[in-house]
Amino acid sequence: DAGVIQSPRHEVTEMGQEVTLRCKPISGHNSLFWYRQTMMRGLELLIYFNNNVPIDDSGMPEDRFSAKMPNASFSTLKIQPSEPRDSAVYFCASFQYGYGYTFGSGTRLTVV
């Protein structure tokens, strides 16, 4: 298994632009999580899905953030419009009870 695959690895964009982050979870894992990590706030849960259904999006900062999981093998996190304070590393992780989390390599987002 290739693990959790995220793209792009790095993204630099101008304020106001739309940003789309992508994630392919591990096949067979029921849950998918989107996290954001900064030095100040650590790992923050943004949203998670069970069996493709969004369960808890209370961590999504505001309406500029949206996430979808159209099928078991793909999820997107979109920021529109992006702002400099969105700069962070965004991790996707798939989770299976008994096995714990497996994280993707992350997308390092810089909004200038």
Partner 1 sequence: RKEVEQDPGPFNVPEGATVAFNCTYSNSASQSFFWYRQDCRKEPKLLMSVYSSGNEDGRFTAQLNRASQYISLLIRDSKLSDSATYLCVVIPARRDDKIIFGKGTRLHILP
What's the closest the beta carbon of residue 74 comes to partner 1, in angstroms?
Answer: 19
Rounded to an integer, what distance in angstroms lies between the CA atom of residue 34 and that of residue 68?
A: 11
The residue from 11, 95, 109, 111 that contacts partner 1 (CB under 8 A) is 95
Cα 79–chain centre separation: 11
Rounded to an integer, what distance in angstroms lies between the CA atom of residue 13 and that of residue 40?
A: 22
Nearer to partner 1, 74 or 103 (CB): 103
Site for partner 1 in 15-74 (CB under 8 A): 33, 35, 41-43, 45, 48, 50, 55-56
What's the closest the beta carbon of residue 93 comes to partner 1, in angstroms?
Answer: 8
Nearer to partner 1, 25 or 106 (CB): 106
Q: Applying CB under 8 A, which part among 18-26, 67-75, 80-88, 91-99 lies near partner 1? A: 91-99
**Tokens read off for 99:** 């096995």
In 3D space, the residue among 111, 94, 106, 107 whose CA is nearest the CA of residue 52 turns out to be 94
Rounded to an integer, what distance in angstroms lies between the CA atom of residue 29 and that of residue 88?
A: 26
**Partners of 9 in beta bridges:** none
List of residues contacting partner 1 (CB under 8 A): 33, 35, 41-43, 45, 48, 50, 55-56, 91, 95, 97, 100-106
